[in-house]
């Protein structure tokens, strides 16, 4: 998908003109955020609830903030030590936040990349 | 320090489909009788899951890799095992959240909810005081919702808000934002009221598709303003799609490029009704989309065997119809929200509640109007039947005036 700089609408790969404003391809640009995307994403809690910020300690000791725009804090997750449940399994929340940063087949790149740029 | 840039709380759309996000109607018992309630919540369902059955479901969800479980109702806090379920979810590593009208959330209950480990609560606020109380058919409902927000916040629970917009309350959009901001709400989920359940009994309340031509740009402008205030205004899955403001509306932070990715029912999302019935999305029509029941099958069986859970898993453009079939965004959108399309068009794959569609038709000088053909039978998550009539864009609006329009006429 590209973005039309004239109307800000999205343009599918198969379109010859912007579906929203009819502008031609000279107006189109791939958004920077799409160029860097390793996999397609949709917002969490799309139907119910809403996001808040989580501080993630990465395996190399660095930190990242999940949804930093939200002023509401969700607490923190440390990817250096797996969090276990009472049953001895890995905590789903921990897995959710940390799996993209761990050297595993689930690290993201192979997950589709449908939004990746050229 | 890592050079990795900021991350955002979004679903990875992975090949592996798991019930990562579960919405669980713990009970249909409710302390309000909202005029737009899709599940017609009032009394508990026959055969609602017991404490033991519910706690067993929690274990099964954990085994399936569920990340977050939103407890809804009715009012989830009216289920006798509400706090036990919250504790169990937390103990099994599943994030417990809740969506509530908040009428019964006292300071004491808020403290209990916090102690049980409830992660966040989204309070439903349907407009300014007069509109909210009208839609919720509860005098004092608005004040109760405000009190709930305050009690939860004081107890240390993260608070957010959600609103269903329609003809009755669309005039409150910007003013309600200010009220919620003042109440320290930092995330606001916005959806459109769909003719499901009691809302299907009140077609005059509903948006007509052409109302999106003005509502979506207003919402986009508000979202930009909200970002500057540190508030996230996020559209629900039934609001969109692919108008000029798509990326702005769908992205949780400035500079991001999210867009609608198609209905996730049965892909990453699962809904549970209070009696154990399971659907791909909690809002899907019970009559058509129940995959099975947790009293007789496990979550794993219901998720993996062929059933109504497959609704969106194999959907392609070939399954779409009407305008959506030929839409340039068809491959990405795949007919948008399934329960919304079913509610207005009789089956998924063609949804007139779409900004791009309304805009495209308006450019041709026409618009679509939903005309009630048959009333809903009166069951939870049921539908009326509508005809989609195409008419000139400047045809008279046959809908009765809203209370706000009447007031405006009176004032002038």
CA B65-A52-B25 angle, to 5 degrees, is 50
Which of B252, B260, B266, B268 should one mutate to test binding to chain A, selecting the residue with the greatest count of A CBs within 10 A?
B252
By CB neighbour count within 10 A (0-12 exposed, 13-18 middle, 19+ buried), where does B263 fall?
buried
* Dihedral angle over CA of B108, B112, B113, B114, nearest 10: 100
Separation CA A40–CA A111 (nearest Å) = 8
Write down the pLDDT at residue B11: 46
How distant is the Cα of A63 from the closest Cα of chain B, in angstroms? 7
Interface test with B, best of A46, A74, A82, A116 (most B CBs within 10 A): A46
B102: left (phi over 0), alpha (psi -120 to 50) or beta: left
Q: Which of A5, A31, A50 to mutate to test the interface with B (most CBs of B within 10 A)?
A: A50
CA distance A19 to chain B (A): 7
Residue A45's pLDDT is what? 38
Which H, E and C letters describe B190-242, residue by residue?
A: EEECCCEHHHHHCHHHCCCHHHHHHHHHHHHHHHHHHHHHCCEEEECCCCCCC
Q: Which of B201, B179, B76, B74 is nearest to B126 (CA)?
A: B179
Residue whose token pair is 């892909």: B267
Provide the pLDDT for residue B360. Answer: 97
Pick B93's closest partner by Cβ from A41, A45, A85: A85
Q: Do B245 and A63 touch (CB under 8 A)?
A: no
| Nearest Cβ partner for B12 among A39, A47, A83 | A39
Q: Is B162 on the interface with A (CB under 8 A)?
A: yes
Torsion sign, CA atoms B65, B232, A40, B279: positive
> Above 80 in pLDDT, residue A47?
no
User: What ipTM did this prediction achieve?
Assistant: 0.86
Q: Check if B183 contacts A (Cβ < 8 Å).
A: no
pLDDT the model gives residue B372: 95
- Among residues 58-117 of chain A, which lie with CB inside 8 Å of chain B? 58, 60-74, 83, 85-87, 89-96, 100-101, 106, 108, 111-112, 114-115
C-alpha distance from B387 to closest chain A C-alpha (Å): 26
Identify whether the C-beta of residue A97 lies closer than 8 Å to the C-beta of residue A66: yes
**pLDDT tens track of chain B, all 412 residues?**
222 233 333 444 445 688 988 999 999 999 999 999 999 999 999 999 999 999 999 999 999 989 889 999 999 999 999 999 999 999 999 989 999 999 999 999 999 999 999 988 999 999 999 999 999 988 899 999 999 999 999 999 988 899 999 999 999 999 999 999 999 888 898 999 999 999 999 999 999 999 999 999 999 999 999 989 988 898 888 999 999 999 999 887 787 778 888 898 998 889 999 999 999 999 999 999 999 999 999 999 999 999 999 989 989 999 999 999 999 999 999 999 999 999 999 999 999 999 999 999 999 999 999 999 999 999 999 999 999 999 999 999 888 888 777 777 777 6
B178, exposed or middle or buried, with CB in 10 Å at 0-12, 13-18, 19+? Answer: exposed
Please give the pLDDT value at position B43.
93
Closest residue by Cα to residue B278 from B57, B80, B15, B113: B57
Q: Which of residues 220-259 of B touch A (CB under 8 A)?
A: 227, 230-232, 234, 236-237, 242-248, 250-259
Residue B34 confidence (pLDDT): 92
Q: Which residues contact B283 (CB under 8 A, 6 or more apart)?
A: A47, B38, B194, B196, B271, B339, B381
User: Which H or E element spans position B95?
Assistant: strand B95-100
Q: How many CB atoms lie within 10 A of CB B182?
A: 9
Question: Is A34 a residue whose pLDDT tops 50?
Answer: yes
Q: Considering only CB atoms, which chain A residues are within 8 Å of B189? A: 45, 48-50
Binary contact (B9, A63; C-beta < 8 A): no
Q: What number of other Cβ atoms are within 10 A of residue B83's Cβ?
A: 17
* pTM, rounded to two decimals: 0.83
Question: Is the Cβ of B6 closer than 8 Å to some Cβ of chain A?
Answer: yes
């Amino acid at each position: 998908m590209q973005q039309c700089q004239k109307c800000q609408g999205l343009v599918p790969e198969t379109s010859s003109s912007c579906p929203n404003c009819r502008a031609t391809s000279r107006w189109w640009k791939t958004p920077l955020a799409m160029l860097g995307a390793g996999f397609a994403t949709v917002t969490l809690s799309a139907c119910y609830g809403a996001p808040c910020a989580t501080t993630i300690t990465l395996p190399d000791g660095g930190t990242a903030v999940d949804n930093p725009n939200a002023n509401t804090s969700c607490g923190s997750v440390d990817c250096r030590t797996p969090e276990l449940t009472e049953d001895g399994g890995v905590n789903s929340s921990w897995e959710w936040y940390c799996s993209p940063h761990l050297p595993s087949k689930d690290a993201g790149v192979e997950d589709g990349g449908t939004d990746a740029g050229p | 320090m890592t050079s990795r840039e900021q991350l955002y709380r979004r679903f990875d759309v992975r090949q592996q489909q798991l019930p990562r996000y579960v919405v669980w109607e713990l009970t249909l018992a409710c302390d309000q009788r909202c005029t737009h309630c899709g599940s017609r919540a009032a009394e508990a369902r026959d055969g609602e899951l017991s404490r033991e059955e519910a706690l067993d479901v929690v274990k099964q969800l954990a085994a399936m890799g569920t990340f977050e479980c939103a407890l809804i109702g009715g009012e989830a806090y009216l289920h006798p095992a509400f706090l036990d379920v919250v504790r169990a979810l937390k103990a099994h590593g599943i994030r417990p959240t809740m969506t509530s009208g908040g009428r019964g959330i006292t300071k004491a209950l808020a403290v209990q909810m916090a102690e049980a480990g409830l992660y966040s609560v989204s309070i439903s606020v349907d407009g300014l005081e007069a509109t909210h109380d009208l839609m919720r058919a509860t005098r004092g409902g608005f004040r109760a919702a405000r009190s709930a927000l305050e009690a939860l916040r004081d107890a240390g629970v993260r608070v957010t808000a959600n609103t269903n917009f329609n003809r009755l309350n669309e005039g409150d959009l910007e003013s309600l934002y200010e009220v919620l901001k003042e109440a320290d709400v930092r995330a606001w989920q916005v959806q459109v009221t769909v003719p499901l359940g009691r809302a299907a009994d009140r077609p005059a309340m509903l948006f007509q598709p052409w109302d999106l031509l003005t509502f979506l740009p207003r919402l986009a402008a508000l979202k930009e303003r909200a970002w500057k205030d540190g508030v996230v205004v996020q559209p629900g899955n039934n609001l969109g799609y692919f108008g000029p403001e798509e990326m702005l509306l769908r992205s949780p932070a400035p500079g991001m490029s999210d867009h609608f990715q198609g209905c996730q029912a049965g892909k990453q999302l699962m809904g549970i009704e209070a009696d154990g019935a399971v659907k791909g999305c909690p809002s899907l029509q019970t009559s058509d989309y129940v995959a099975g029941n947790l009293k007789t099958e496990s979550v794993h069986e219901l998720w993996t065997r062929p059933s109504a859970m497959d609704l969106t898993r194999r959907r392609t453009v070939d399954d779409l119809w009407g305008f959506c079939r030929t839409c340039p965004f068809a491959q990405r959108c795949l007919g948008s929200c399934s329960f919304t399309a079913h509610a207005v068009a009789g089956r998924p794959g063609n949804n007139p509640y779409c900004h791009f569609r309304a805009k495209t038709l308006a450019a041709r000088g026409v618009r679509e109007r939903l005309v009630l053909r048959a009333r809903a039978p009166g069951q939870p998550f049921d539908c009326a039947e509508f005809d989609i009539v195409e008419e000139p864009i400047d045809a008279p609006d046959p809908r009765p005036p809203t209370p706000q329009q009447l007031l405006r006429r009176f004032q002038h």
